[in-house]
Amino acid sequence: MTAWRHAALLRHGQALCRAGTGHRTAADVTPRFVRGTPLRIAGLRRTHLSAKYADTTRKQWIELVGIGPIGGQRSQIAYGVYCGDHVHPGQPQFDYLTGVEVALPDPLPQGVDAIDLPAADYAVFAHDGHVRDMRAMWPRILSDWLPANRLSAGPRFERYGERFDPVMASGPVEIWIAVTTN
């Protein structure tokens, strides 16, 4: 990628990674398709102002780590689940649950919420790099890729695998979006 092309992508908020790293950019995102099984994700659910989500979601992840393992936890894989958008006194907000997959029958500790994600067909978008660079993928997927492919979004979440480095906020992450045809 030329320096000019890289600068142009950065200006438009579409660059996801530095040129020459071999990482994917928003312009060349291509998903794989997966039939997802039902998941129960338990953790902390918070409401965030859309304009300040970068700082507030980071604090939410730190808070999740502070509560330690959750009963019935199945693995070290973490999830960030988008639970809905809403507007409150003119400010766009969204609910976000940070958590881990848990066994269905286990009771949850006080202060821990859960969301059940149904089996669905998912478009899975891969990102390998810092989470701040992943943010540009969301509008490209939701505003460009879905309409271009005549698909509607259902439940959506981020999946942080065991190779993700939470201290550096970097590594492989997948964006899972349940899709249906329009």
Per residue in 23-62, pLDDT (tens digit) is: 444 445 799 999 999 999 999 999 898 888 888 888 999 9
CB distance 138 to 50 below 8 Å: no
Q: How confident is the model at residue 105 (pLDDT cuts 50, 70, 90)?
A: low
Mean pLDDT over residues 102-119, rounded?
88
Residue 119 reports pLDDT greater than 70: yes
φ, ψ of residue 67 in degrees (nearest 5): -85, -10
Residue 16 reports pLDDT greater than 90: no
Supply 3's token pair.
């320096």
* 133 C-beta neighbours (distance < 10 Å), count: 20
CA-based torsion, 69, 72, 74, 78: positive or negative:
negative
What pLDDT is attached to residue 51? Answer: 81
Global pTM value = 0.80
CB distance 81 to 11 below 8 Å: no
CB distance 179 to 121 below 8 Å: yes
CA-based torsion, 168, 95, 154, 150: positive or negative:
negative
* Angle at alpha carbon of residue 117, lines to 116 and 122, rounded to 5°: 175
Q: What are the structural domains of the chain?
A: 3-181 (3.20.80.10)
Supply 142's token pair.
């939701």
Enclosing H/E stretch for 34: strand 32-36
